[in-house]
């Protein structure tokens, strides 16, 4: 497995792999890998001839009061996991390599970034799109693999790839959960054991909504209220948003009469967690 730190070398290696006729899969990460990432790597390995993973904690997608400085890091463990998952190259640049003095470009999506996390984390998606756009230009993949837990991120990237004619197939992979249902996330590491118990309220909320819809409830307000009540009955929880929306546009819906997205962002203590499910009528 090659460990590559410069943009120039990564581009050279990818270009050579392409010229040799390989399909390149790419899994971008911020490191501190968990089973969710391992699943993305598994899919990437299965679908491509060469698998590239990046590790880069991207400063431009964190707000000034967010957890950039304390974001968990474990390069040694990540490299071991990458090796076991059959990664061919890990791209791990420095911040200076990615954003040299004088850097000034942005990639901005106008609509789907205005909802959900885009509302509560202003500037977050501009940070995600610029870094992912750069990573795509550097690793030159045919396929890029993202988790469905970050549902909005997934559709923002799909839209960017379409709008900018990047010619990359973006693949979404279902959320991997702990045995008790908690969605895997590097940020779960911040939770105390009491907070960890309360964090289960997100999955319980999604399950409750699914049951309500299965039993015939079609009123978004009633579903959202029931989910809110369930979550707030758990200690340390504070709701950032509960949205029932159109899964492509992320705009609020008036009635659950077609597949819709239930997306949650909840603070548990100081940790902000997200989760989602697609609700269907049957």
30, 90, 177 from 37: Cα distances, Å: 10, 14, 12
Task: Report the candidate in 175, 174, 167 with the shortest Cα–Cα distance to residue 23.
Answer: 167
- Name the residue nearer to ligand PAF (CB basis): 33 or 262: 33
| 139 belongs to the binding site for ligand PAF (CB under 6 A) | no
Angle between helices 124-139 and 151-163 (to 10 degrees): 60
Please confirm, yes or no, whether 37 is among the known catalytic residues: yes
Length of the chain: 282
| 131 belongs to the binding site for ligand PAF (CB under 6 A) | yes
List the x/- string, 214-243, binding to ligand PAF by CB under 6 A. Answer: ------------------------------
- Name the residue nearer to ligand PAF (CB basis): 77 or 259: 77
| 141 belongs to the binding site for ligand PAF (CB under 6 A) | no
Per the residue annotation, which of 37, 115, 124, 234 is the catalytic one?
37
| 132 belongs to the binding site for ligand PAF (CB under 6 A) | yes
Strand order in the sheet with 2-4: 2-4, 89-91, 50-55, 24-29, 143-147, 169-173
Part in contact with ligand PAF (CB under 6 A); list of ranges 1-9, 70-78, 110-118, 124-132: 124-132
How does DSSP assign 1-21, residue by residue?
-EEE--HHHHHHHHHHHHHTT
CA dihedral 171, 184, 71, 241 (to 10 degrees): 90
Which of 98, 109, 112, 128 is close enough to bind ligand PAF by CB under 6 A?
128
| 82 belongs to the binding site for ligand PAF (CB under 6 A) | no
The CB-of-1 to ligand PAF minimum distance in angstroms stands at 19
The CB-of-56 to ligand PAF minimum distance in angstroms stands at 6
User: Tokens representing 219?
Assistant: 């009123």
- Name the residue nearer to ligand PAF (CB basis): 61 or 198: 61
74, 83, 110, 125 from 93: Cα distances, Å: 15, 18, 29, 20
Which of 88, 150, 195, 275 is close enough to bind ligand PAF by CB under 6 A?
150
- Name the residue nearer to ligand PAF (CB basis): 78 or 150: 150
Strand order in the sheet with 237-245: 237-245, 260-268, 271-279
The CB-of-119 to ligand PAF minimum distance in angstroms stands at 17
Part in contact with ligand PAF (CB under 6 A); list of ranges 28-36, 97-105, 196-204, 224-232: 28-36
Count of residues in contact with ligand PAF, rule CB under 6 A: 10
Which of 28, 36, 93, 133 is close enough to bind ligand PAF by CB under 6 A?
28
Part in contact with ligand PAF (CB under 6 A); list of ranges 65-73, 127-135, 193-201, 203-211: 127-135
| 29 belongs to the binding site for ligand PAF (CB under 6 A) | yes
Q: What residues are labeled active site?
A: 37
- Residues lying near ligand PAF in the complex (CB under 6 A) are found at 28-30, 58, 61, 128, 131-132, 150, 153
């Amino acid at each position: 497995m090659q460990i590559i730190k410069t943009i120039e070398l990564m581009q050279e290696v990818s270009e050579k792999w392409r010229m040799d006729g390989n399909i390149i899969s790419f899994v971008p990460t911020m490191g501190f890998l968990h089973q969710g990432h391992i699943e993305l790597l598994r899919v990437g390995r299965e679908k491509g001839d060469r698998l590239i993973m990046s590790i880069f904690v991207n400063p431009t997608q964190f707000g000034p009061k967010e957890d950039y400085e304390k974001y968990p890091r474990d390069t040694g463990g990540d490299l071991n996991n990458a090796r076991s998952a059959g990664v061919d190259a890990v791209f791990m640049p420095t911040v200076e390599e990615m954003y040299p003095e004088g850097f000034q470009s942005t990639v901005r999506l106008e609509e789907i970034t205005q909802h959900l996390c885009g509302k509560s984390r202003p500037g977050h998606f501009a940070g995600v799109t610029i870094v992912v756009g750069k990573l795509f230009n550097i690793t030159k993949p045919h396929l890029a693999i993202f988790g469905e837990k970050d549902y909005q991120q997934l559709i923002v990237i799909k839209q960017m790839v379409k709008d900018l004619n990047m010619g990359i197939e973006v693949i979404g992979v279902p959320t991997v959960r702990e045995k008790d249902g908690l969605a895997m996330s590097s940020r779960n590491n911040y939770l105390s054991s009491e907070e960890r118990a309360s964090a289960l309220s997100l999955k319980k909320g999604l399950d409750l909504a699914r049951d309500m819809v299965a039993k015939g409830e079609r009123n978004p307000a009633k579903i959202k209220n029931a989910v809110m009540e369930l979550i707030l009955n758990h200690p340390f929880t504070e709701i950032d948003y509960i949205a029932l929306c159109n899964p492509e546009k992320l705009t609020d819906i008036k009635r659950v009469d077609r597949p819709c997205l239930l997306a949650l962002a909840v603070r548990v203590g100081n940790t902000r967690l997200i989760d989602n499910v697609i609700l269907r009528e049957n």
